[in-house]
Structure 1
Amino acid sequence: MLRAEAAVPVRMRRVAIVAPEQALRESLVRIAEAGCVEVDLAGDGGPEAYGPAATRLRRLGVASGRPVLCEDPPDLDVLEREGRTDLLVGEAQLEERLGSAVRRGGVAALAGWCPETEVAATAARLAGAGGALVPLRAPRGVDPPTLLAGAGTAPAAHPATPVRRSFTPLVTTYGTVPYADLDPTMAAGVVYVLMFGLMFGDAGHGLLLVALALLLRAGRPRRFAALRPLWPFVAGAGLAATLAGVAYGEFFGPTGVLPVLWLEPLEEPMRLLAVAVGLGAVLLAGAYAAGTVNRWREGGPVSALYATTGVAGAALYLGLAVGAGSVWLGQVAFGVVGAVIAVAGLVLAGTGLYAATAGGPGGAAQTGVQLFDAVVRIGSNVVSFARLAAFGLTHAALGAIVWDGTTALAGRGPVGVAAAVPVFLVGNAVAFSLEALVAGVQALRLEFYELFSRLFESEGRPFRPWRPPVRPVAGQAADTGPPTPEDPVRPGSARKESS
C-alpha cells in the first residue's frame, strides 16, 4: 500500500452483484468466499427472508450463532435433526440476501460496497459462477463504510504491519473514523506511548513491560493468547517508559543505578510541568491541523474555514498561544499580534456557529455561549496535559518511598536485610501495577478528550463484509474457518442487520 493511501481509510467502491436467477445462490456463495463485499439488505428482507432455514431456527429457539455456509444447497431437515444451527444460521443469512435482491426478467441484483482494490478479483470469482460484479456510481448523500488498513475485516490485499495492527484498537475504541477523514492510527499510537512513557518513567518498570510484550509475542501465558497482536503496542509503551526512566535516572526507583541524564522529577517538578504543558500545546496544534484537513475533506473549504475544529479554531488557539507567550517573554508586540489572530479566529468561529442556529437574539446568545466555551476549553485542554507531569511525579514519589523503606531496613543488620528484600519486591510490584493502570488510563483520556475531539465531529459506519466460512459438504465440521462474529436472527427474518 502506498504511504498516501495508508493515511486515509481504504478506498471503497459501490458495486452491484448481478446474476441470473438460477445462479444467484452460487454467486452469493462466491461473495462469501471472497469475504470482501458488504451486501445491502432490504428493510423487510423480502419474502424469502421468511425462508425454510429461518423457520427452522425459530422452531429451535435460536436467535444468534456463528454462521457457516454450505457450498451446495443442504438438506435442511437433516441439519435440524442434527442440531447444526451454525449451518442453519448461514442458510438463513443467505435467504435474507436472496430476498433482498431486485429481480427483473430472470436476472437478480444486489447492491453493496467493496474495497476498490478487490473489485477485479471478486468480479473474476463471480464470473466463474455466471454472475458479475458491476462498479456503480456512489449514491449522493451516502458515505461509504469505513475500513482501516489492518483492521479485523480487512481483506488480504490490505495488510498492515504488526505495529499498525496493535495501534488500531486505540482508534476503534473511540469510534468509527468517518470515511472522508484521515486515518490517525499510527500517529495516535506514537502519541499514546510517548505520553505513557512520561508518566511511567522508570527504566526497570519499562523493561518489565518489554519483557511482558515478548511473552505475549510468544503466546505466553496461553490464557492471554488473544492479546498476542497487541505485543508491539505493549513493547512500545515499555520502551518509552525505559527511555524516560533513563532520562530521569530511575531504575526501580532512585536506586542510583542510573545517572540523571535530564532531570530528577522530585527535584525539578516545575521544569517537568513546563515540558508537559509545552508538549500538550504541540499536540493540540497537531490536532487542529488534522481537524482542519478533515473538515476540508468532509465539507470543502467553507466547512474548514468556519469550524471551531478547523481554521477558525486553529486561529483562536494560535492567537491565545501567542498571547500567553507574550506574557511569558514580556513582549507586548507579541501580545498585540496574538490578540489580532485570536479575534480573527473568534469572528470566523462565531460566523460559523451563528449560521448553524435559528438566527435572531436567541442564535446570537447561543453563539456567544459556544464561543466562550471554545475559549475556556482551549485553556483547560492545555492545562490538562499537566497530568503528564503530575503522574510522572507520583510514579517517582512511589519509587522513592519504596527505596527509602528498603534502605532504612537494610541498614539494620541481617534481619533488616531479610525484611528489606520483600519490601523492595512487593513495593515495586504495587507501584508497577498501580502506575501502569493509572498512566494507561490517563494517556487514553488525553488522547480521546483533548485530541480526538478535535479530529472528529461525527462518526462513520464500519465496513461489515459478509464472510461466513464456506464448507463444500454440509456434514463437515464447522469450526475450521476464520472466526466470524455472531449474527443474531431477528423474528420473521434470517438476520438482524447491524446498526
Structure 2
Amino acid sequence: MPWSEALTPVRMQRVAIIAPHTALREILVLIADAGCVEIDRIDGLGHGTRGAALRLRRLRSEPTGAALSAAVPDLAVLEREGHAELLAGEAQLEERADSAVVRGATAALAGWCPADQVPRLAERFVDVGGVLVPLETPRGVDPPTLLRATGAPGRSFTSLVTAYGTVPYRDVDPSWPAGIAYVVMFGVMFGDAGHGLLLLLAAALLYRRRPRCLASLHTMWPFVAGAGIASALAGVAYGEFFGPTGVLPVLWLDPVGQPQRLLVSAVAFGGLLLALAYTAGTVNRWREGGPSTALYATSGMAGSGLFLGLVLAAAGVYLHVDAIALLGAVIATCGLGLAAIGLFVASGGGFAGTVQTGVQLFDAVVRIGSNLVSFARLAAFGLTHAALGQIVWRGTTALAHRGPGALVGAVLLFVVGNAVAFALEALVAGVQALRLEFYELFSRVFQAQGRPFRPWHVPVRHTEVSP
C-alpha cells in the first residue's frame, strides 16, 4: 500500500440501496452479514414498538448479543423458546426497515460504504433483486471516518489516535507516525536494555494470549514490543542493563553523569516532533478549508512560521550567530502577522476582536515555548530511571562486598529493586508519553472532530430454528 493511502482514512462512498419491498428483509440480512454498510437512520418512526422489540422486552433473559436467521423466523416461536439473541437481531432489522423510503412496491435506503467494498456488495444484491447505487457526497456533509488498520501494529497504533478522538474524514491519518513517536518517547524515558528485554518478553506472552487473564490485552502486544525495542536501544546508548552494571559500555551518554546533554537532546527531539505536527496540521487545514485557512491558522502555515522563527532566533542567540537570530526574528514576525490576520477576521473585528486577537496571539507564543520545554520531561524521567537503577546497583554491590552471608540479601535487593523500578517507571513513562502525544502534538494536528464509521453488522445463522 502506498504511503499516500496509508496516511489517509478509508475512502467512503455514499450509496443508495434499492430493492422490491418484498425483498427488503433479504437485502438487510445481506447488509448485516457483510458488516460494511452504515445505514442512515430516521428517528420517530416507531422504533422499538413492533413485533420483535416487544417480544424481546417480555423475555426475562437479557440477550448476550444479536443474531439473525437467514430464513424468515416465527417471532412467536423465538419468544417461546427464549431465543433472545435472534429477537434482538430481528429488532435491529425492524429498525433499519423502518428507515426505508417506500414508494409502491419499491423500498430504498441510503448510507455509507467503503468504496472498495461497493462492487462486491453490489454483486450480492443482484441475486435477490436489489441494486446498490453509488451517489455523490451531499454538499456540506462529511463522510464518516474509518482509519486503516493494516496488520496488528496498525490496529494498535490506530487505537492510540481514536483514544484522542475521531479523525475528520478530510484529515491525514497519523496512526503510524503517532505510534512510532510514542514508543520512541517511551524508550527515551525507560532506557534500560534489561528492562527493554522484559518488555519484549511481555509482548511475546501477550501475543500468545498468556496468561489467560490478560488475553483481553492481546491487541496491545505491538505497543509493548515497540516500547521494548526502543527501551533496549536507549539502554544500549546509555550503557544501562538493569542499571549501571557494567555489562554494556556507554555508547552515547550517561544520563546521571551528563544530564545537560540529555536535556538538550530531549528538547531538540521535541522540536522535531512539533515541526512534524505543524506540517500535518498545515496539510489538514488545507484539506479542511483550502489554502486561505492553511495560511492564516495558528496550527497551519502561520503557526509553523512563528514556531520556526522562534526556534531559529533562540538558536542564533544560543550560538551567538546574529544572522540566524535575525532571520528567525523576521520569520517569526511574518508568522505572527499572518496569525493575527486570521484571528482578527475570525473574531469579527472591532475593538473586542482586537483584544481577543491580542490575547490569542500571546497564548500562541507562550504555548510554543511551554510545549517545547515540556519535552524536557523526556530527559527528566530518563534521568530518574537511570538514578533508580544506580541506587539499586550501588546497594547491591555494597551488600555483596560484606561477605558470603550478605550475598542472598544482595540478590534479593537487586531483584526487588529492579522490579519496583520497572513497574513504577513503566507506568510513569507510559503516561508521560501519552500526555506529550495528546497535548503537545495532537492539539496541533487536529482542530475538529470527525464522525466514526459505524457499520451495521449482525452474524447470520443459516440453520433453521425448530418450530
Q: TM-score range by the shorter chain?
A: over 0.9
1:334 aligns with 2:346: no
Is the CA contact 1:65–1:89 (under 8 Å) kept in the aligned structure 2?
Answer: no
Q: Note the C-alpha offset of 1:6.
A: 1.1
Q: What residue is the counterpart of 1:16 in the other structure?
A: 16
Give the superposition deviation at 1:28. 0.7
Conserved 8 A contact 1:30-1:129 = no
The answer on whether the counterparts of 1:48 and 1:98 sit within 8 Å (CA) in structure 2 is: no
CA distance in 2, matches of 1:49, 1:110: 19
Structure 1 residues 223 and 105: CA distance shift in structure 2, 3 A: same
Decide which of 172, 175, 181 is 1:182's aligned counterpart: 172
Cα deviation 1:125-178 (Å, max 9, x = unaligned): 11111111100111111110100112xxxxxxxxx1222122121111111111
Residue matched to 1:4: 4
Aligned position for 2:447 = 457
Question: Following TM superposition, by how much is the alpha carbon of 1:2 offset from its aligned partner in structure 2, in angstroms?
Answer: 3.5
Conserved? CA contact 2:63–2:85, under 8 Å:
no
1:75 — aligned with what? 74
* 1:112 has 2:111 as partner: yes
Partner of 1:92: 91
2:350 aligns with 360
1:457 partner SS: coil
| Alignment TM-score, normalising by the size of structure 2 | 0.97
In 1, are the aligned partners of 2:263 and 2:376 still within 8 Å (CA)? yes
Query: Which residue of 1 is the match for residue 139 of structure 2?
Result: 140
In 2, the alpha carbon distance for the partners of 1:403 and 1:475 equals: 68
Contact 2:266 2:379 in 1 (8 A): yes
* SS of aligned partner of 1:252: coil
Residue equivalent to 2:284: 294
Residues 13 and 137 of structure 2 are in contact (CA less than 8 Å); yes or no, is this contact kept in structure 1?
yes
Whole-angstrom CA distance in 1 between matches of 2:223 and 2:441:
19
Alignment partner of 2:102: what SS? strand
| Distance in 2, Cα, partners of 1:333 & 1:282 | 22
1:418 matched residue in structure 2: 408
Distance in 1 separating the partners of 2:447 and 2:262: 33
Partners of 1:2 and 1:26 lie apart in 2 by 37
Q: CA deviation at 1:64?
A: 7.2
Deviation at 1:104, TM superposition (A): 1.1
Q: State the shift of 1:62 in Å.
A: 7.6
3-state secondary structure, aligned to 1:284:
helix
Deviation at 1:60, TM superposition (A): 3.4
Aligned-partner residue type, residue 148 of structure 1: L
2:36 corresponds in structure 1 to 36
Higher mean Cα deviation, 59-68 or 380-389?
A: 59-68
Q: What's the counterpart of residue 26 of structure 2? A: 26
8 Å Cα contact 1:305/1:311 also seen in 2:
yes
Shift of 1:353: 1.1
Which residue number corresponds to residue 58 of structure 2? 59
Deviation at 1:106, TM superposition (A): 1.1
User: Counterpart of 1:336 in structure 2: which amino acid?
Assistant: L
CA distance in 1, matches of 2:103, 2:214: 52
Aligned equivalents of 1:26, 1:168: Cα separation in 2: 34
1:219 counterpart residue number: 209
Letter in 1 for 2:216: A
Q: Equivalents in 1 of 2:457, 2:173: separation in Å?
A: 24
Which structure has more relative contact order (CA 8 Å, sep 6+)? It is 1
| Cα distance per residue 1:201-230 (max 9 Å; x no partner) | 000000000111111112211111222222
Partners of 2:167 and 2:32 in 1: CA distance: 25
Distance 2:173 2:254 in 1: 37
In structure 2, relative to structure 1, the CA distance for the partners of 1:417 and 1:393 (3 Å cut) is: same
What CA deviation, in whole Å up to 9, does each residue of 1:450-490 have, x standing for no partner?
A: 001100001111111111101123539xxxxxxxxxxxxxx
* Aligned-pair CA distance for 1:240: 0.5
Contact 2:298–2:339 at 8 Å: present in 1 too? Answer: yes
Aligned length: 466
Assess if the C-alpha contact under 8 Å between 2:62 and 2:84 holds in 1.
Answer: no
Instruction: Determine the structure 1 residue equivalent to 2:230.
Output: 240
Residue type of the partner of 1:416? A
Aligned sequence identity (%): 65
> Hey, what's the Cα distance between the residues in 1 that align with 2:46 and 2:416?
66
Shift of 1:341: 1.0
SS in 2 for 1:356: helix
Pairwise CA RMSD: 1.4
The code of the aligned residue for 2:146 comes to: L
Distance 2:118 2:332 in 1: 48
The answer to whether the 8 Å contact 2:186/2:433 transfers is yes
